[in-house]
Amino acid sequence: MGDFSIGCCCRRRKSKSWRSRDGGSKDRIMAHDGIKTVEVEKLVEGSSGSVLRICIVTWNMNGQVSYMDLAEIVGNDRKFDLLVVGLQEVPRVNVAQLLQETLIGTHSLMGESVMQSLQLFVFGPKNYELFLEEFRVDNYAVGGFGGLIRRKKGAVAVRIGFKGVNMLFICCHLSAHARNVEERNSELRHISHSLFSKNQNPYSRPSHITVWLGDLNYRIEGLDTHPVKDLIHHDLHGMLTSKDQLLQEAERGQIFNGFCEGNLEFKPTYKYDVGTSIYDTSHKVRMPSWTDRILFKIERHGDVDAMLHSYESIDKIHSSDHKPVKALLSLKPN
């Protein structure tokens, strides 16, 4: 998609294998050309010091903030070098400061890219200055904001060079409603072509990896809400994933060509009754959907190996109508 879709997906490791979303045989590439599904691999302790571990979180906060929820997102197991947190519908509070308070003793804020309620933060180890080679930010608005929580749509992005690895992180919030598929596709293309397109730094090197995270707002369609709620408990990986708009559009070649994503083994992250883990019981009875996603792509094939160690939602957080999604990646320069 756009300028950030060039190149191949994650390198296929000889000792590892891809697994299809339909549960088919291993050691084969999935049928559709868009998003490749990768298995979660166990994190091996004592890995080489050249491995860079990145914890990535996306969460639509729905205009609410809770220090305890932010602490839960960060977690106590700090087995990562970088923490990348992308937030949507952020209230008028200093979330960076709250996150920093949860990370005291281990990580410091390296920088941020903020556009009203759409915010992206990168935290690194206390001595990150020794390894930081580049840090640049940009944003792109696609319109659509209002109300008390200023629901800004578009993307915020960070380019970072750290320990010899060049990374691009893009946090986006796209148009809502199931019917607006083409609008979301168009927004992704405009964002992709526009970020970092002005005043390019001639000394900036191409990214080894691009990571998209955020509330992409693609929905489950073609099913009724009540049967979907039943399928969530009985057939999460079959019928439901086949009705996911994001995977459908990628298979059509419209978006995210060559990107990777972990298996959707967690329940749809939207829409919940606030304060619960119960799907929408309002008169609108909104369709549960995987609106919140984390995708990644190796841009310079052969330069870096990428491995996904976790891809999950945090169900115990109840302050929003969305559940946060969290991933752990390790990158190893070749």
220-278 confidence digits (pLDDT tens): 998 888 888 888 987 777 788 999 999 999 999 999 999 999 999 999 999 999 999 99
For residue 165, give its domain range.
Answer: 2-333
pLDDT band at residue 297 under the 50/70/90 scheme = very high
User: Is pTM, for the whole model, over 0.85?
Assistant: yes
What's residue 33's pLDDT? 64
Q: Whose CA is closest to 76, among 95, 55, 60, 90? A: 55
- Please give the residue that has the higher pLDDT: either 225 or 123: 123
- Please give the residue that has the higher pLDDT: either 206 or 316: 316
The total domain count for the chain is: 1
State mean pLDDT over 29-51.
Answer: 73
How far is residue 296 CA from its own chain's centroid? 8
Burial code (b: 16+ CB inside 10 Å, e: under 16) for 141-177 equals bbeebeeebbbbbbbbbbbbbbbebbbbbbbbbbbbe
Residue partners of 111: CB distance under 8 A and separation at least 6: 121, 122, 135, 137, 158, 160
CATH number at residue 202: 3.60.10.10
What's residue 24's pLDDT? 40
Q: Whose CA is closest to 22, among 229, 239, 266, 179? A: 239
Least reliable range by pLDDT among 148-157, 170-179, 274-283: 148-157
**Beta-strand pair 209-215/260-262:** unpaired
Residues 53, 186: Cα–Cα separation, whole Å: 32
pLDDT band at residue 29 under the 50/70/90 scheme = very low
Single-letter amino acid code for the residue at 239: M
